[in-house]
A and B are shown apart, each in its own frame.
Chain A
């Protein structure tokens, strides 16, 4: 198929940036979206032009590195997948595709479609961990009984890959779905309860400091999240935070 691409080009963090039109032909419907961009870049390379910078790593939906706002939605129009799992068969011959970077004050553009998502790392560092000694006498995990229901919920929360699509889709650029997944995966387990109070206070504080917006419960994040992280996690974080701040 032949496609018309409108891609955000921006030299560096300081450049104003603009949308640039590209035509691409002979795209196979079996290509992934990123492979289509690879073909475009090969073309640009051959012509001596600067290739389009975009993030990617595993290309199988597990690392959370790929991003892109495609035709008005993060990770494109499909549900429950990352951009690297999006296939060109989702588009029709002659389509125009808008490709933009994730937009948020806390995710500044580095170049073209690449944004700096290290704000997520700093939120993690503020409390997204448990402190255990690795001195050799660590307790066997199987010795701690955990309800199946809670184990499942904690596991669901832990499947968040930190891609940032929740922020990108939210009209307030709120990071609540990500932070709530990280809070929940520990809050649901006895190992995580020990530091639960400081964790939720510190992670939310960091989230606010990084300049993410406030949640208005529109639910865009839940729809766009490639891992199906549920809004129930946000409600759980709201409960955790409420009780933590009353302590």
Chain B
């Protein structure tokens, strides 16, 4: 009984909701710290961001964390929907007159709607960036333009800090294989590796003349939705795990409220900054 209780019982499902939800909060912090590099005005901003993106897609420890994140999102969403369906069934006939705002906050009553909107956002977000980074064959590699003796020349930046003239690739002296690897075409040996230019993709996306404005606004709105989800969710997760005492709860609740405002706000600033302020 004990084992199945942790999966099937009402409380068991709540533990999983809380654990996955809090893990996703940690994920948000990590993701945010990475994204904030997009705000750096430094001339190496693109390189640093692309180096970070490479690290996030190749480091084995990060791989484990990212699989945990995929699992958490799926489990949290499925479990959340199962719970919500059960909860609907527990009151087949509702009240003619109900006054829920007298005893609850709006966010706490709309976790499923808020969560579903977040899920829609996560899917579109992954199609726009994650899928390109992982699977797009036409993902560009980072280049820099250097003025050498009065003429502009384009170079690929490589992972060991070299500059590889783009013209050599155009002339087929160097071949690109496996999306990022530079090969000596004649000898058939790998000589270097480039950076996938996620920075360029991101900036182009939010600066796109057709949909950049609407994408930036929708992104910011999605962060408002996330903020409401966390405004209730953060503190709620601790209650679900059985952490509630006069000593700790005020701190947890206030921290959760601050978290639910600061984290989504910082996320939302990035696309708006790229669209309205960043010069390229």
Q: Residues of A at under 8 Å CB distance from B?
A: 6, 8, 19, 69, 71-73, 77, 98, 100, 103-106, 169, 171-174, 201, 204-205, 207-208, 211-220, 223-224, 231-232, 234-242, 244-247
Question: If the complex has contacts A232-B244, A245-B6, are A219 and B90 also in contact, measured as CB distance less than 8 A?
Answer: no
A219 touches B242 (CB 8 A): no
Residues in chain A near residue B89, CB distance under 8 A: 105, 211, 213
Cross-chain contact A77 with B10 (CB below 8 angstroms): no
Residue pair A231, B96 in contact (C-beta under 8 Å): no
In the assembled complex, the CB of A217 is this many whole angstroms from the nearest CB of chain B, namely 4
Provide 18 A-B residue pairs closer than 8 Å at the C-beta atoms, listed in order of the A residue.
Answer: A8-B96, A19-B96, A71-B99, A72-B100, A100-B95, A103-B91, A103-B95, A173-B87, A201-B5, A212-B10, A213-B86, A214-B10, A216-B111, A220-B104, A224-B103, A231-B239, A245-B9, A245-B12
Q: Is the CB of A72 within 8 A of B99?
A: yes
Pick from B15, B93, B244: contact of A235, CB below 8 A: B244
Measured in the bound complex, the distance between the Cα atoms of B105 and A241 in whole Å is: 27
Question: Contacts A104-B90, A174-B90: A218 and B109 contacting too (C-beta < 8 A)?
Answer: yes
With a 10 A CB-CB cut-off, give which of A69, A172, A212, A220 has the most chain B CB atoms: A172
A157 smallest CB distance to B (angstroms): 14
Q: Which residues of A contact B161 (CB under 8 A)?
A: none
Contact between chains at A103 and B109 (CB < 8 Å) = no
Chain B residues whose C-beta falls within 8 Å of the C-beta of A71 in the assembled complex:
97, 99
Query: Beyond A72-B102, A214-B87, A218-B103: 11 further Cβ-contacts under 8 Å?
Result: A6-B96, A103-B91, A169-B103, A173-B91, A205-B1, A205-B9, A217-B240, A220-B100, A237-B11, A238-B14, A245-B5
Contact between chains at A211 and B90 (CB < 8 Å) = yes
Interface residues on B, range: 35 or more
Question: CB distance A103 to B99 under 8 Å?
Answer: no
Tell me whether chain A's interface is mostly helix, strand or loop, or mixed. Answer: mixed
On whether the beta carbons of B103 and A223 are closer than 8 Å, the reply is: yes
Given contacts A214-B83, A235-B239, contact A73 B90 (CB under 8 A): no
When the two chains form the complex, which single residue of B3, B86, B239 contacts A217, counting CB atoms closer than 8 Å? B239
Q: Which residue of B lies closest to A98 (CB)?
A: B97
Docked CA distance A245–B90 (Å):
24
Q: Which residues of A contact B13 (CB under 8 A)?
A: 214
* Identity of the chain B residue whose Cβ is nearest the Cβ of A215 in the assembled complex: B14
B4 and chain A: residue at smallest CB distance: A245
Q: CB-defined interface of B1-28 with A at 8 Å, one 1/0 digit per residue?
A: 1110110011111110000000000000
Q: Are A98 and B96 interface neighbours, CB within 8 A?
A: yes
Residue of B9, B94, B104, B105 with most chain A CB atoms under a 10 A cut-off:
B104
In contact, A218 and B243 (Cβ under 8 angstroms): no
- Lowest 8 CB-CB distances: which A-B pairs, in order? A72-B99, A239-B242, A213-B90, A235-B244, A172-B87, A98-B97, A223-B103, A238-B242
For B203, what are the chain A residues with a Cβ–Cβ distance below 8 Å?
none
**B residues adjacent to A (C-beta < 8 A):** 1-3, 5-6, 9-15, 83, 86-87, 89-100, 102-105, 108-109, 111, 232, 235-236, 239-246
B9 partner residues in chain A, CB cutoff 8 A: 204-205, 208, 241, 245
Q: Determine which of B86, B102, B109, B232 lies in contact with A77 in the assembled complex, contact meaning CB atoms within 8 Å.
A: B102
Chain B nearest CB from A77 CB (Å) reads 7
Q: Is the pair B10, A216 in contact by a Cβ cutoff of 8 Å? A: no
In the assembled complex, how far is the CB of residue B208 from the closest CB belonging to chain A, in whole angstroms?
39
Question: By the criterion CB–CB under 8 Å, are A216 and B87 in contact?
Answer: yes
Chain B residues whose CB sits within 8 angstroms of the CB of A223 once the complex forms: 102-104
Chain B residue with Cβ nearest A205:
B9
Q: Within 8 Å CB of B246, what residues of A?
A: 232
What separation, in Å, do the CA atoms of A69 and B15 have in the docked complex? 31
CB neighbours of A106 from chain B (8 A): 90
Q: Contact: A214 with B86, CB < 8 Å? A: yes
Cβ of B111: which chain A residues have Cβ within 8 Å of it? Answer: 216
Contacts of A77 in B (CB 8 A): 102
- Nearest Cβ distance between residue B21 and chain A, in whole angstroms? 12
Report yes or no: A171 in contact with B244, Cβ–Cβ below 8 A.
Answer: no
B36 to chain A, nearest CB (A): 31
* Contact (A238, B108) CB under 8 Å given A104-B91, A204-B10: no
Minimum CB–CB distance from B125 to chain A (whole Å) comes to 26
Residues of B within 8 A of A6 (CB): 96-97
Using Cβ atoms and an 8 Å threshold, which residues of chain A touch B244? 231-232, 234-236
Looking at the assembled complex, report how far the CB atom of B53 sits from the nearest CB atom of chain A, in whole angstroms: 37
A77 to B103, CA, bound (A): 10
Residue of A nearest to B105 (CB): A218
